[in-house]
Structure 1
């Protein structure tokens, strides 16, 4: 019986599909980790260092903005030779203040959450094991690699994402066992044209994932990682925030004096 002779391009394309699949698994793992626990850890660290001061700075800034706005509104009446309608002015400022208060409440909640946030971090050995398990799940279930993934597949994958990011190694191990024991997906293309198409799809997916990862790692909170890593930079940032608060205190005081002077002309 003659041995089956495979077309050289077929073997080359199969190898390329396998290589791209593994690259997608690696980058997807990095992206899920970056958008999950790494982001939360950096946000928590940033919030613990600067959250309260930034909240205080924002509160003072909004106080200054409202005083400036009140001055402008009073002036608009005086410039027309009219007596300021304080009720109308108060109504305008109350509406604007509510917008500011929403921001302040959100910042206060973020600062409070950051102060209480804790994560179970993997040991070095656990980190290697967890990464291997997670990549096994991604390889078996992720729609980046399996366009026909079912809702159950995606739900199982989401559980794995949460377990991986929360340090829940036991759950991650259980999911990996379920995946290993489950029905194996065999959706690898069987002809050259299909392999070419799959290569194109995987290259496109890999390019998009790499771009997303790059954007994530260049945005907040990753853009603050270097600042947080150096105590002298942290201290300087704290000093700068306190200095900005003091400057705003001076501006607020000046606005209050100016407003008193304007009210004295009414």
Structure 2
């Protein structure tokens, strides 16, 4: 009986299907991890930061403002002393202009803190989604992640990339209506066509997805080690919340003492300069 030789490049279909199934499993896992990461970034951390700002924003602002004032007064003393050392006339107006320039970045940070407080107040006043709407929001977003996210679909078009950016913005803002509209546009579209792939291409895609999974897992872990997520434990514990408030009060008190000391020092220096 004649023996039939098998060509080296013949695809063993069970293996082919096994890899395709593994890739689909990885894609599902990746879409869930991407949703977890974005939920962490755009919802959980955003809520934590808003709660933290409402709880500590006022005292934190006052403490930072006092710090800026103390640093400015200290620098003012240095500039006055420099003028006196050179036996030059001291112009407070000119010195204040110099200080305005040197401390412009501090003022910018103070303004940013006010903006954060306004955002937190707006968040407090906004209407929260119902439990069912929240579930639908996550479901639609995860579906769009699978279809439009660059990690899931490296060959997406510019139009698809822009559409996904709109989806991300809608998810951040809890805009269910916009996500529904985008979902209606893309339908059940899939950008990945594996039917013509070879075993080598499928294995390469499998490795790519495995590497992405690892990176997303690391990203989630890093987010949980940074502000504002690190404030979650404090906000959930009344004792720790009160301890942090007292720390801010102590810092504010220390800077207020320095401010008083520096102002008295400046008055003494200016009194001597007019003698």
Q: TM-score, normalised by structure 2?
A: 0.84
In the alignment, the residues of structure 2 paired with residue 93 and residue 169 of structure 1 have an alpha-carbon distance, to the nearest angstrom, of 48
Residue 120 of structure 1 and its aligned partner are, at CA, apart by 4.2
Give deviations 1:141-160, integer Å, cap 9, x for gaps: 22211112123323332333
SS at match of 1:218: coil
Give a deviation string over 1:94-148, Cα, whole Å, max 9, x none: 2123332221111112112212224544444444443333222211222211112
Distance 1:37 1:89, change over 3 A: same
Confirm whether residue 135 of structure 1 aligns to residue 142 of structure 2: yes
Structure 2: runs of 5+ lacking an equivalent: 1-9
Distance 1:120 1:152, change over 3 A: farther
Q: In the TM superposition, what is the alpha-carbon distance from 1:29 to its structure 2 partner?
A: 0.7
1:263–1:85: structure 2 CA closer, same or farther, 3 Å change rule? closer
Q: Deviations over 1:22-74 (max 9, x none)?
A: 12101111122222122321221111111111111111111100111111222
**Are 1:59 and 2:68 an aligned pair?**
no
- Kindly tell me: are residues 174 and 264 of structure 1, through their superposed partners in 2, closer, same or farther at Cα, counting changes over 3 Å? closer
Partner of 2:123: 117
**Residue pairs, 1:182-197, within 5 angstroms:** 183-188=189-194, 190-197=197-204
CA contact (8 A) 1:120 1:167 kept: no
Q: Equivalents in 2 of 1:265, 1:149: separation in Å?
A: 73
Structure 2 Cα separation of the partners of residues 178 and 157 of structure 1: 12
Q: Distance in 1 between matches of 2:174 and 2:45?
A: 14
> Given the alignment of the two structures, is residue 82 of structure 1 paired with residue 82 of structure 2, yes or no?
no
How does 1:175-254 map onto structure 2 within 5 Å? 175-181=182-188, 183-188=189-194, 190-254=197-261
Match of 2:163 in 1: 156
Contact in 2 for aligned 1:60/1:249 (Cα 8 Å): yes
| Partners of 1:175 and 1:77 in 2: CA distance | 65
Q: How many residues align?
A: 261
Determine whether 1:166 maps to 2:173.
yes
**Cα pair 2:70 2:262 within 8 Å, conserved:** yes
- Alignment partners' CA distance in 1, 2:135 and 2:12: 38
Q: What whole-Å deviation, never above 9, does each CA across 1:181-225 have from its counterpart, x for those lacking one?
A: 5x4434226211101111122122222222222222221111111
Q: 2:83 touches 2:89 (CA, 8 Å); kept in 1?
A: yes
1:258 aligned onto 2:258:
no
Query: Aligned to 1:47, which of 39, 53, 58?
Result: 53
Offset, 1:84? 5.0
Give the equivalent residue in structure 1 for 2:7.
none
Q: Provide structure 1 residue ranges, at least 5 long, that are not aligned to the other structure.
A: none
Aligned mate of 1:144, from 141, 151, 159: 151
User: Does the 8 Å contact 1:16/1:199 carry over to 2?
Assistant: yes
Root mean square deviation of aligned Cα? 2.5
Q: Is the 8 A contact 2:153 2:192 kept in 1?
A: no
CA distance in 1, matches of 2:137, 2:120: 25
Q: Is the 8 A contact 1:146 1:187 kept in 2?
A: no
Distance 1:256 1:50 in 2: 28
